[in-house]
Amino acid sequence: MARLLLWLLNGTATLTLTVFGATAPNTLCHNEQWRTEVTQHLFRHYYYPGPEWQHYCDSVLQICPDYDYLWQMKAMPAVKMGIYELAFASLSHAVVLNREKQLPYQAFLKCTFAKDYEGALLDFEESERMISGGGLMDHSFSFYKGLCYLGLNDPQKAVDELEKDILQQTKRSGKGNEHYNSLFYLGLAYLLSKEYEQAEAYLKASIKAYSRFPDANFYLGRLYRIQRRKTLAATHLQIAKDALQSGASMNEDNNFYVDYPYQAGLSDIEKEIFALCFFD
Amino acid sequence: MKLFPVLLLFCLYSGMLPAQQNKAADYGLDTALLPCHNCTDSRISEYFSVGGKYPESSMSLVHRVNVHIAQKHITPEQDGFITFRFTINNDGKVSAFRLYMVDEQYKATRFSQEFIGALYQFVCGLQEWKTKLHAREKPVCYYNYYLSFRCKDGKITSVAP
C-alpha cells in the first residue's frame, strides 16, 4: 500500500488522491520511511516557487493531513513570495499539529519575512514558555525578540533581549565566541538607545569577529559621525561601502531573500558619507 | 488493486487551501507581460534564484514610500499587508502585476483604490532593477519580484523583502 501511494504521488503531482484520505491506514502516515521518501521526492523533483510543489504537498496532505512538515513546506514558498494568506493559513495547520516545533518557525517567518513584529513577539513568548532557552536558525529566541523590538522602535527592550542572547552564548561557548550578528544587533540597540560607549564596544567586537561586516562598519561609522570623530567615521563607512560592493553581507541564511531589520544598503552608506561633508 | 480504477475516477485535483486571490485586475494594474528583447529563454526565475534582490534597503524604501504617500495626502485606512508581485524583464522594466491584500490576521481584505494606486505608482517608479543577470551561465530574461508593504497605524512600517 505504501509503495502504491508513493508511486502514485511520484507520477501524478497534480492529481489529488482524495479518496485515499479515507482509506490510507493511519500507520502509513506515521511511517518515518514513507515520510522521508515523500519529502525527498518533493525536494528532488519540484521547484518550490512552482505550482507543482503546492500540488504535490496538497496530494500528500489529502492522504496524511496530520503531517505538519508538509504544511510547513506548503507555507515556505508562499511566504518567500509575499503571499501571506496562503502561507499563514498553511502554517496554522502545522502549528496545531506540532506546536512545539512549528510555533517557533511561524514566529521566525513573521519576524524575518513578514516583519510582523508584534505577531512574532507573541509567538516567541509562547515558544519560550514551551522551550526555555530555545532557538532556531542559529539563534536564540531572545535574539529574534531583540530584532522584533528593534523593528518596533523600542531599543531599550531590544537591549534587554539581546543581552540575554549574548549571556546564553557566553554560558554555552565561553566569552569571545559570541555570534557577530548578536554583537552587532546589541551594539545597534545601544546606539539607538544613545548609550554610545556600550554601542562602540559591541560594534567593535562584532567587527573583530567579522572585519568586513558591512552593517557593523556602517553603524560604527554613524556612531563616530554623531560623536564628531570624522576620520574614524570616514574609515568605517568606506569599509562598509567596499565590503557591500564586493558582495559581503550579514551572512544570515535568509538574507538572500529578505533584508534584516536596520540592514543598510549602498544608498544608506552613501548618504552617511555625504553627511560627513557637512561636518566642519 | 481492485480499487485502482475507482481511484482514478477520483483523481481530480482539489487544493487543500484556496489559493490567495490576485486582485490586480480589480484595481486596474497592468497585468500583461512586457516582451523580453533578444531572449532565448522565456522562463521566469525568482529573484532569489538569480541574485536579483533590489539594491535599495528595505529601511530606505520605508522612508521613501512614506514620503510618497504623505505628498499625496493619502494614508492607509486599515492595518494589514499589501503585496505587489511583478515580473522584471532584461531591460529592467516591470510588468505583469499581481496584487494580494491581507489584514493583520492574514485574512484577505481590500484597501482603497486610491491607496493601492499610490503604492502602485511608487513601485512603478523604482528604477534600479538588476539586469544582465545569469543563471547557470545563461542570461536571465525575466525574474519575479515582490514588494510587500505593511500598514500600521496610518503609515507604512515595513517593506519586504
- The Cα–Cα gap between A86 and B135 comes to 28
pLDDT of residue B19: 64
pLDDT of residue A2: 52
Task: Output the nine-digit C-alpha cell for A121.
Answer: 513577539
Nearest Cα residue to A59 out of A105, A13, A110: A13
Question: Per-residue pLDDT for A1 more than 80?
Answer: no
Average pLDDT for B94-111: 96
Q: Which amino acid is at A243?
A: A
Is A97 exposed, middle or buried (CB count within 10 Å of its CB: 0-12, 13-18, 19+)? middle
Question: Per-residue pLDDT for A110 more than 50?
Answer: yes
pLDDT of residue A21: 44
Question: What is the pTM assigned to this prediction?
Answer: 0.88
Residue of B nearest to A271 (CA): B60
Cross-chain Cβ contact B83/A54 below 8 Å: no
Residue of B nearest to A16 (CA): B13
Query: How many Cβ atoms from other residues are within 10 Å of residue B148's Cβ?
Result: 24
Cross-chain Cβ contact B55/A265 below 8 Å: yes
- The Cα–Cα gap between B90 and A211 comes to 35
- The Cα–Cα gap between A54 and A238 comes to 45
Question: Per-residue pLDDT for B6 more than 90?
Answer: no
Question: Per-residue pLDDT for A27 more than 90?
Answer: no
Backbone angles phi, psi at B24, to 5 degrees: -55, -45
Higher-confidence residue of B84 and B5: namely B84
pLDDT of residue B134: 85
- Tens-place pLDDT, residues A89-108: 999 999 999 999 999 999 99
Torsion of CA A238, A240, A245, A248, to 10 degrees: 150
Cross-chain Cβ contact A265/B104 below 8 Å: no
pLDDT of residue B114: 96
Length of chain A: 280
Rounded to a whole number, what is the distance in Å from the CA of B107 to chain A's nearest CA?
A: 6
- The Cα–Cα gap between A20 and B23 comes to 34
- The Cα–Cα gap between A234 and A34 comes to 58
At A278, the pLDDT band (50, 70, 90 cuts) reads: confident
- Tens-place pLDDT, residues B47-96: 999 999 999 999 999 999 999 999 999 999 999 999 999 999 999 999 99
pLDDT of residue A13: 43
Question: Per-residue pLDDT for B17 more than 60?
Answer: no
Q: Which amino acid is at B62?
A: V
- The Cα–Cα gap between B134 and B144 comes to 14
Average pLDDT for A135-156: 97
Tell me whether B11 touches chain A (CB under 8 Å). Answer: yes
Average pLDDT for A161-168: 97
CB proximity under 8 Å: A 150-209 to B: 151
DSSP string, B90-120: TTS-EEEEEEEEE-TTS-B----HHHHHHHH
Chain-wide mean pLDDT for chain A? 91
Rounded to a whole number, what is the distance in Å from the CA of A248 to chain B's nearest CA?
A: 13
Task: Output the nine-digit C-alpha cell for A65.
Answer: 493531513
pLDDT of residue A33: 92
Does residue B17 contact residue A89 with C-beta atoms inside 8 Å? yes
Residue of A nearest to B51 (CA): A256
Cross-chain Cβ contact B14/A16 below 8 Å: yes
Contacting residues of A for B11, CB less than 8 Å apart: 12, 15-18
Cross-chain Cβ contact B146/A82 below 8 Å: yes
- Tens-place pLDDT, residues A180-213: 999 999 999 999 999 999 999 999 999 999 999 9
Question: Per-residue pLDDT for A134 more than 80?
Answer: yes
For an interface test with B, which of A85, A86, A215, A272 has the most B Cβ atoms less than 10 Å from its Cβ?
A85
CB proximity under 8 Å: A 53-112 to B: 54-55, 57-58, 61-62, 65, 74, 78, 80-90
Cross-chain Cβ contact B13/A55 below 8 Å: yes
pLDDT of residue B16: 54
- The Cα–Cα gap between A187 and A183 comes to 6
Task: Output the nine-digit C-alpha cell for A172.
Answer: 554555552
Does residue A107 contact residue A123 with C-beta atoms inside 8 Å? yes
Residue of B nearest to A22 (CA): B7
pLDDT of residue B132: 86
pLDDT of residue A111: 97
Question: Per-residue pLDDT for B9 more than 50?
Answer: no
pLDDT of residue B38: 81
- The Cα–Cα gap between A275 and A255 comes to 27
Length of chain B: 161
Contacting residues of A for B100, CB less than 8 Å apart: 82-85
Cross-chain Cβ contact B144/A267 below 8 Å: no
Question: Per-residue pLDDT for A115 more than 80?
Answer: yes
For an interface test with A, which of B2, B12, B14, B57 has the most A Cβ atoms less than 10 Å from its Cβ?
B57
Nearest Cα residue to A156 out of A130, A190, A184, A132: A190
CB proximity under 8 Å: B 73-112 to A: 81, 83, 85, 100, 102, 104, 106-108
What lies within 8 Å, CB to CB, of A186 at 6+ separation is: A146, A159, A162, A163, A165, A166, A202
Contacting residues of B for A115, CB less than 8 Å apart: 58, 150, 157-158, 160
Residue of A nearest to B108 (CA): A85
Contacting residues of A for B48, CB less than 8 Å apart: 80, 256-257
Cross-chain Cβ contact B161/A259 below 8 Å: yes
Task: Output the nine-digit C-alpha cell for B146.
Answer: 515582490
Average pLDDT for B9-27: 65
Rounded to a whole number, what is the distance in Å from the CA of A9 to chain B's nearest CA?
A: 11
